[in-house]
Structure 1
Amino acid sequence: MYTMKKKLLATIGAVLGLSLLLTITVPSTTKANSNLLLASVEWVQAQLNPINTKVTALEKQVAEQDAIIKQLQKAVAEGGTVVTPPPTTTPDESTGLPTTVYTTSSNVKVHSGATRDYKVLATFGANKGLKVIDQHKAATGIWYRVEVSATVKGWVFSGDVTTTKPSNIVPSQVVTKQAVNIRKGATTNYKSLELVAKGTSLKYLDSFKNANGEIWYNVQTAKGTKGWVLSTLTEVK
Structure 2
Amino acid sequence: MKKRQIYTISFTLAIGFLIGGIFSPSIYSSAQSNVLIASVEWVTSQINPLKTKIDKLESTINSQAAEIALLKKSISEGGGLILPEYVYVKSNSASIYSGALTSYRKVANVAVGQRLKVLDEHTSTEKWYRVEYSSGQFGWILASDISVDPVNTPKTVKINKTTTVYSGALTTYRKVATLQSGQSVKYISAINSNNETWYNVELSSGLRGWIQASYGEVQS
The TM-score with structure 1 as length reference comes to 0.34
Task: Give the structure with the larger strand fraction.
Answer: 2
Larger relative contact order (Cα-Cα within 8 Å, sequence gap ≥ 6): 2
Instruction: Point out the structure with max Rg over C-alpha.
Output: 2
